């Protein structure tokens, strides 16, 4: 419980002083985000993913790629899955980008399919949307 409280405090201060965090503190902040994503608390995971999206260029959370991917693949809440998808895109994992076409072929949610195609279209410069769609089948 004390650990959860400490992580929550880090998130509160990050929101309040987002750009004022010293460069040395980004490593600690990144470690706390990874730890939060490994928690069983969905609220903590949501906060961590939101912070990764907000500070994606300053945090290193590649160690949490598989935890976020598991949320994207298995969570019952569609909005949570969308948040995980955007987080994975912000993490910029090459492994995830290679998996995305396979996931697109199996996805049934129109909103997620659209978002996945937008990510793939943005990543494949010069490819048109139809090529990305057929590549995902």
Q: What is the full DSSP assignment across 16-42?
A: HSGGGS-HHHHHHHHHHHHHHHTSS-H
Q: How would you write the pLDDT of the chain (137 residues) with one tens digit per residue? A: 656 555 565 555 555 455 555 666 899 999 999 999 999 999 999 999 999 999 988 999 999 999 999 999 999 999 999 999 999 999 988 999 999 999 999 999 999 999 999 998 886 554 454 454 544 44
Rounded Cα–Cα distance for residues 126 and 81 (Å): 28
**Stated pTM of the model:** 0.74
**Two tokens, residue 130:** 């139809």
């Amino acid at each position: 419980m004390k650990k959860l409280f400490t992580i929550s405090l880090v998130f509160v201060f990050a929101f309040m002083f987002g750009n004022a965090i010293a460069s040395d503190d980004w490593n600690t902040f990144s470690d706390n985000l990874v730890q939060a994503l490994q928690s069983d608390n969905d609220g903590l995971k949501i906060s961590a993913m939101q912070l990764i999206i907000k500070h994606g260029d300053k945090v290193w959370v590649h160690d949490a790629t598989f935890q976020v991917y598991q949320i994207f693949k298995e969570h019952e809440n569609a909005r949570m899955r969308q948040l995980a998808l955007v987080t994975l895109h912000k993490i910029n994992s090459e492994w995830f980008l290679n998996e995305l076409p396979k996931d697109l072929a199996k996805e049934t949610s129109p909103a997620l399919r659209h978002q996945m195609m937008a990510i793939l279209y943005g990543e494949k410069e010069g490819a048109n949307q139809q090529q990305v769609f057929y590549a995902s089948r």
